[in-house]
Structure formats: structure tokens, C-alpha cells
Amino acid sequence: FVCVCMMLVGSLLFAYLVGSFCGLAANLSPDLMRFRQDLTDLNKFLSNNNIPTTLRYELREYMHSAVSLRRANTANRLLRDFAPKLRNEVALQINEKWLRKISLINDECEDGLVLELAFAISLHIFPPGDTCPGGAIYIVSRGAALFAGRAYVSGNSWGEADALLETERMRFPIPASAIKYLYAYSIDGKTLRATMGQFFKYPMAAARLRRRQIQWIVRRGVVRMAEDRMAIGGQDFRNNSIAKHRRTSTLFQLFRGVSASASGAVGPDGFPLAPPRNNMLTVVNAAKINADVVARRRSTDILAPPSATANKRKGRISK
């Protein structure tokens, strides 16, 4: 009887210890356990709704790629419980290297501005082929994106003009798209303008913001003016078909005296403009014709007899 009791007590202690160790192992990574539970729920959902196999692979791949996004959300949730000063300092240590990738924010900006923007930055994940919403500045952490005819990889940023300009017409009409899985930090344009526009708090940043806004307004304004002028004439613009009788904008009336050829400027974040194909062919053909005429004149002067050339010169002098 004593042996049976000792065996029973020993088995209970062993079961208790095994359960305790299993509980500790389960609580070591709550995010991992939550991810596994979500993945199990996703598999059940896909099976119950007869989702195609290819789409199942894409959904599972996105869930595996979004693990870093879950960690970032957990970190943001923890930081919200701290005091604003401590929260901003921690966010600055994490996100300062990404903020310095933006040309608008450099060493001359006030430290308080960088602290505020550090907590406003957020991480986003875009699968291949997905588009990035406009009106924000994006900094690539991993992956690659295509915007305005250029490829952006880790460390590059785009969208400054779209974030600084409030008018939708002035923004680039085609959003950026992810070439492969894109991990990008972003700052919303409204938040950026509201934070940097505090003149009495950040005078240097407010002045820099205003100068950059004026530059982009003039730059995009000239482009839109050229687009409206060419649309009125029924010509092609940026290799896209435009309505023949497009309404003339107020900006076009303002810049009526500016030549439409000024739209050929190309910037890192501007419109990828090129002269229309028909106009380019016309210019090239005209240049060829002029070159042929000049060459023929020279050849006739060279091949003509000396007496004829001299007579021509005498006739010109007498006249």
C-alpha cells in the first residue's frame, strides 16, 4: 500500500512538472502562438469555403510575411502606455535611421520635430502587384517598388510631392506598385504637413516645408499646363490617350504664356514626361531635311566650275 501511494504521488508530481514546463514554453512567445492560431483558423476558413489552391498559397505566404508587421503593432501598443516623452525617445531610437532617408528631414531640422515624426511613422507590407496608397512618403525597408518609371529598393524613398501637395490634381495619377514583397515605412501627408507647419514651434522646418511646397507647385503646375494645352489640340501626352476637348484649368490660364516644351523636365519624384512621339518624329524629320539641303548646297558649290562660282559672287557683290 505504501509503495502504491508513493507511486501515485510521484506520478502527480511528474505530471505537474511537465504541465508547468509546457505552460512556460507556450508563454515564451505570445506572438508566435497567436500566429499559429491564426494560421490554423485560416486553414479552416479556406477549407470550408473551397478557396482555389493558388489563392491559398498567396494568403499563407502573406501571413508568413506579415510576422514583422505583427511585432511592430505589438511594439506600438506597448509604447502607447508610456509617457509621451519616453514614447517618442524610444520611437526615435528605432525609426530615426528611416527618417533620415527623407531629403526633407535633415540635420538642420529641430530635434523635437524628429521626435514627433518618429512616432508617426508606420510599417506597411504590400504583396507583389499591390499598389501603395498615395498622399504619403514611403521609405523602403525591404523589397522593391516601381513608381514613376523608377525602381526603388532598400533605403530609397518616394512620394514627397504627393505628401506635400494638398490638391489631388497636382499629385501623380499612377500609384506605386510592389515588384515583390515590399516592406515600407510611411508618413501620412496630413500628419507631416501639420507637424512641420508649426511655425512658432519649428520655424526652420516650417520655412523648409513652404519652400519645398512652392517648388513642387510650380513644377507640377507647368506639367499640368502642358497637358491641358496639348489636350485642347487633341495631341497625345505622356503616351496616353487624352480627351480631345478637355476642360481648360485655371492653372493653364495662369501659365498661358509659358511654352509647353517646359514640361520635358524629369525629376526623381516628378512626372516622367517625354515629348510626344509625333512631335519628336516631326522635329527629327525637319532636322534631316535641313541637313540634306545644306549638304546639297555645299556639294553644288564644290562641284561647280570656278568661273560659275566667281560669277555668282560678282553678281552678289554688284547687287
Q: Parse the chain into domains and list their residue ranges.
A: 203-277, 281-318
pLDDT digits (tens, 9 = 90+) for 9-52: 888 888 888 877 777 666 666 777 788 888 889 999 998 988 88
Position 262 confidence tier, pLDDT thresholds 50, 70, 90: very low
pLDDT digits (tens, 9 = 90+) for 234-261: 776 655 433 333 333 333 333 333 333 3
- pLDDT of 196 reads 86
The residue-averaged pLDDT of 80-99 equals: 82
Has residue 303 got a pLDDT over 50? no
Has residue 140 got a pLDDT over 90? yes
CA distance 45 to 119: 35
The DSSP letter of residue 240 is B
- pLDDT of 264 reads 40
Has residue 268 got a pLDDT over 60? no
Has residue 178 got a pLDDT over 50? yes
CA distance 103 to 241: 34
The residue-averaged pLDDT of 201-218 equals: 87
The DSSP letter of residue 138 is E
Q: Angle at CA 126, nearest 5°, toward 122 and 130?
A: 135
